[in-house]
Structure formats: structure tokens, C-alpha cells
């Protein structure tokens, strides 16, 4: 059988048909218990080429559709997702190991960004600029790029696509999506609902949305295709570096959302109960498999022992188990490789003198599932593995004495995605969020590093890639800018007062 019973049931509830699978299909195993969920057919080189060409042809028609009309498609899509929030969240849990609350939360992100994009479809505004020449008008206008290619990671198999897709669609672009091989079923479900929305809104267009399944060869073909005008890639820094270099050879636009090695500073005045709650969610949520996961905790020496004691008690009792079971807060790691990387980092930390608490494998889910108790590792100074992202629930804790030193430690990582400070001191909060404070794309006060809202632009600096998705003016990445000069007079004065009379 190509698809297990649960997957068949979920797709039936969505009103979607599962595609047939040939002998070349790749296996999708659930991190919940290691069992086979499905076999999914990978696209061939010829099929990839045909899909890219089809999407290009569709873009020539889609860009002519008025933006508010394009927004109507996104509105219908968002409503379909809202109606099927429960089974979609369950699918995420089966496929990625997220607990149900986080799965449903991710589906809500899809709904939220659709609502944002619908409003945006009537606000794709340019500028009217004062011209130095009489009887002239200077304008700035925005136009669709064409085809937007989306490469997404396993840990947010629906939200990251939606962040890009909702904005790209209202901006007049068609879509080509390569999901992670570890989460192809979530992509199939969301694609099916988007195509259904296109039919229901009367905007079914052949090539509007193309889903490409397969390994890195698919991503390579997308990056190299002249049809794709923007590649939005979410994943590791190593992957992003390859994408950026390949795009640079043809001056193709890239939008990169890569790794994070996020820190939080805990000041003497901090509300430690608030800190504990914020730290636990940020460090242990999604089993540490978020780009915004809290990985470094920089604590003032005066409150260090009190906070460590509180965290130790919570981590010791965190409910680790089946993510589909009510009450579970920590599900499994995605696979054995993730588990091995975590254990290697903990062993390295111990050799370097770190005090390792927890991090052990839990007897849950059988031999092919990898559940761990989130780890706390204490260091006296910031060293070694602390400055390297391990995509697992390891919280490194280090003391500080001087606030400037704490900020320097925060900024010492090669990534610069998310950061936070816990303080009741207005001066410390203002410094942290100023130009001399955190160098990250996200700088929070009295909340953790994870859990961003869609209203703000999401992304980071340095080895995080510099991209921005979701809210604010992130829509501009999916359009091209044009400056227009209109002469409505009968003479031809030149700029800068140049005289060139013939």
C-alpha cells in the first residue's frame, strides 16, 4: 500500500485524492514511531522542466489579473485551510513529530498570512516623487516578477510555504514549490487546497501552482532555471550558501531564511517566573527544531543559580511523548541523524568541561523513533559547541557580570536571527533593541526568541541569510521596482539643468 490508513483518512477529509505512486517512489517515515506513512513519487528531470515551463506560461496570464482579484483567490484558500485546520494539524504531527498544539498553530499561521495578503492586495502602492523639471511627474511603481520558486524545510512544512505563496500570488507571481523530502505529504495537502481554491474562485489557471517532489536535484534545477525569477529558500546555512552562489551567477534574486543560534539575556531585574516560561517554550518547543529555538541563555550571575534550579525542575518533568497525545509538550526528533548530532554535541560539551543535564534518549515510540529529554548544558564562558547550531533541544547556559559583555556574547554567533532580553530596566531594554544592541533581525523584550507573529517581517542577518518574509513590507521582495518619468508638457527640459540644444 502506498499510503497508510491515517494519511488516506486525512486526505479524504480534505476532499483530496492521493496521487498514484510508481516503483521509484521515496519513503516517508513518521518520526512519531518510525513507521512508513507513504511512498511519494519523485519528479523526473523531464517532468521538472515541463513544470517550470508551464509555470512560466501561466505567469504571463496571471500578472494581468488585477491584484484585488488575485487576493480573492488567497482569501478562498485561507478559508479552506481554516475549515480543515484540525486534520491539517494532525498531518503535520504525523509527518514532522510536532505536538498537536504546534501543528494547529502552524495551520493558523497559514490562515493569518492569507488574511494579511488579502488586505495587501489592495495596498501594493508605489510613490509619487517631486520632479525637479516643470510639467513632469516622477513615479515609483511595482510589478510582478514572474515565477517564484519556494524551497522549504521539514520543520514548518506549511507555514513557510504560505508566508511566501500568499504574498507572491497577490503580487502577481506563479509558484513552484519544492518541499522537504521529510514532509512531502503536508505539501501535497496544501497544494491540493490551493488548486481547489483556484477552481472555487473561478481562477483555475494551468501552471499557477506547481509542486515538485524529490531531492536536492529538484532544487538545483529550480535555481538554474531561467523561468524562475526569485528563489526563496529556507533551510541550513550550507544549503543557502549554495543557492546564493548559484543565483549570483545569473543575477537571480534569492530570499534566504537559514539557520539561527539564538540567545536570550537574563538581567538582574528580570521576572524569573516569566523567564522560566519563556525559556522553556523557546528551548524545548518543536523538540528544539526551530530556526528560532533558544540555544544560548546568558544569565546575570546574581540570579544564575536561582534560574538554573527552576529550569532544572521544569526540564526534568517536561512531558516527552507521542505528539498526537493530549498533554505532550515535547515530541520526537525528526530522525536518527538529528539524534546522533545532538549526542555528538553533548559529548563535545562534556569534554570541554560543560555540565550536562539530561539529553538522554527516552523509551518512547519504539526502536525507530528518537525522543529525547531536552538538555541543559552549563559553561562558565561561551565556547565550542555554543557557537554552532545543533538542530536539537540543547540549551547552553553561561553567566555574565556586565551588560555590555552579555550583548557581545549575544552577537558573537555567526547567525543573527532571533534574540531576546528579560529585564525590568528600561535602559537595558532600549540598549538591547538599539543600533548598539542585538545584531539580530528579531530583538525581543521579555518574551522568548520563538513564536513570531506574521505582522512583522521575519528574518535575520549574517549567516541567517538576510531575507525577510511574512509581514511589514516583505511583499517588495516578490516584485520588481520601476521608476517612471512622465512628461506632460510640450518642452523637454533635462535633469540637473543640462543644456543640450540641437
Biggest distance spanned by C-alpha atoms of the chain: 87
- Measured in whole angstroms, how far is the alpha carbon of residue 75 from the centre of its chain? 21
SS3 of residue 281 by DSSP: helix
Q: Active-site residue among 257, 378, 428, 469?
A: 257
Measure the N-to-C terminal CA separation of the chain; round to a whole number of Å: 80
Of 466, 408, 463, 474, nearest in space to 436 by CA: 408
What's the CA gap between 256 and 248, in Å, rounded?
Answer: 13
- Measured in whole angstroms, how far is the alpha carbon of residue 365 from the centre of its chain? 27
Give me the helices (H) in 328-471, please: 336-351, 403-410, 426-432
Q: Active-site residue among 114, 171, 291, 440?
A: 291
Q: Is 140 a catalytic residue?
A: no
Contacts of 352 (CB under 8 A, 6+ apart): 379, 383, 384, 385
The b/e string for 69-101 (b: 16+ C-beta within 10 A; e otherwise) is: ebbbbbbbbbbbbbebbebbbbbbbbbbbbbbe
Q: Is 4 a catalytic residue?
A: no
Q: 397: part of which helix (H) or strand (E)?
A: strand 394-400
Q: Are 71 and 120 in contact (CB under 8 A)?
A: yes
- Residues identified as active-site: 257, 291
Amino acid at each position: 500500500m502506498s499510503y497508510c490508513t491515517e494519511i488516506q483518512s486525512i486526505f479524504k477529509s480534505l476532499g483530496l485524492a492521493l496521487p498514484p505512486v510508481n516503483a521509484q517512489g521515496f519513503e516517508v517515515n513518521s518520526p512519531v514511531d518510525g513507521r512508513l506513512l507513504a511512498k511519494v513519487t519523485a519528479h523526473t528531470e523531464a517532468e521538472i522542466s515541463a513544470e517550470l515551463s508551464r509555470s512560466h506560461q501561466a505567469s504571463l496570464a496571471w500578472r494581468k489579473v488585477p491584484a484585488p482579484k488575485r487576493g480573492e483567490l488567497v482569501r478562498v484558500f485561507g478559508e479552506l485551510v481554516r475549515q480543515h485546520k484540525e486534520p491539517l494539524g494532525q498531518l503535520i504531527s504525523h509527518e514532522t513529530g510536532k505536538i498537536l498544539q504546534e501543528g494547529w498553530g502552524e495551520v493558523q499561521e497559514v490562515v493569518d498570512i492569507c488574511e494579511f495578503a488579502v488586505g495587501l492586495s489592495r495596498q501594493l502602492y508605489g510613490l509619487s516623487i517631486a520632479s525637479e523639471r516643470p510639467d513632469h511627474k516622477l513615479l515609483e511603481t511595482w510589478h510582478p516578477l514572474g515565477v517564484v520558486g519556494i524551497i522549504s524545510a521539514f520543520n514548518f512544512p506549511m507555514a513557510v510555504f504560505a508566508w511566501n505563496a500568499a504574498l507572491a500570488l497577490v503580487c502577481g507571481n506563479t509558484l513552484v514549490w519544492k518541499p522537504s523530502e521529510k514532509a512531502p505529504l503536508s505539501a501535497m495537502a496544501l497544494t491540493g487546497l490551493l488548486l481547489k481554491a483556484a477552481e472555487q474562485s473561478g481562477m483555475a489557471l494551468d501552471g499557477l501552482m506547481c509542486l515538485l517532489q524529490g531531492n536536492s536535484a529538484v532544487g538545483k534545477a529550480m535555481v538554474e532555471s531561467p523561468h524562475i525569477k526569485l528563489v526563496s529558500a529556507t533551510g541550513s546555512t550550507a544549503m543557502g550558501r549554495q543557492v546564493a552562489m548559484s543565483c549570483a551567477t545569473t543575477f537571480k534574486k534569492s530570499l534566504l531564511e537559514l539557520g539561527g543560534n539564538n540567545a536570550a539575556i537574563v538581567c538582574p531585574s528580570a521576572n524569573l517566573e516569566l523567564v522560566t516560561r519563556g525559556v522553556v517554550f523557546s528551548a524545548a518547543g518543536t523538540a528544539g527544531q526551530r530556526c528560532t529555538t533558544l540555544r544560548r541563555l546568558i544569565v546575570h550571575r546574581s540570579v544564575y543559580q536561582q534560574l538554573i534550579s527552576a529550569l532544572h525542575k521544569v526540564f526534568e518533568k517536561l512531558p516527552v511523548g507521542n505528539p498526537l497525545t493530549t498533554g505532550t509538550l515535547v515530541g520526537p526528533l525528526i530522525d536518527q541523524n538529528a539524534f546522533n548530532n545532538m549526542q555528538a554535541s553533548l559529548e563535545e560539551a562534556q569534554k570541554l568541561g560543560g555540565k550536562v543535564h539530561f539529553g538522554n534518549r527516552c523509551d518512547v515510540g519504539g526502536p525507530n523513533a528518537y525522543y529525547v529529554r531536552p538538555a541543559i548544558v552549563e559553561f562558565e564562558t561561551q565556547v565550542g559547541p555554543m557557537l554552532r547550531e545543533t538542530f536539537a533541544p540543547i540549551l547552553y547556559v553561561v553567566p555574565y557580570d556586565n551588560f555590555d559583555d552579555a550583548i557581545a556574547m549575544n552577537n558573537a554567533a555567526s547567525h543573527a536571527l532571533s534574540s531576546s532580553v528579560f529585564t525590568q530596566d528600561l535602559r537595558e531594554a532600549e540598549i538591547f533593541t538599539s543600533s548598539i544592541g542585538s545584531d539580530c533581525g528579531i530583538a525581543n523584550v521579555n518574551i522568548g526568541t520563538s513564536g513570531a507573529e506574521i505582522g512583522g517581517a521575519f528574518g535575520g542577518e549574517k549567516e541567517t541569510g538576510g531575507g525577510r518574509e511574512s509581514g511589514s513590507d516583505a511583499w517588495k521582495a516578490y516584485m520588481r521596482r520601476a521608476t517612471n518619468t512622465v512628461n506632460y508638457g510640450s518642452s523637454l527640459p533635462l535633469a540637473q539643468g543640462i543644456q543640450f540644444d540641437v
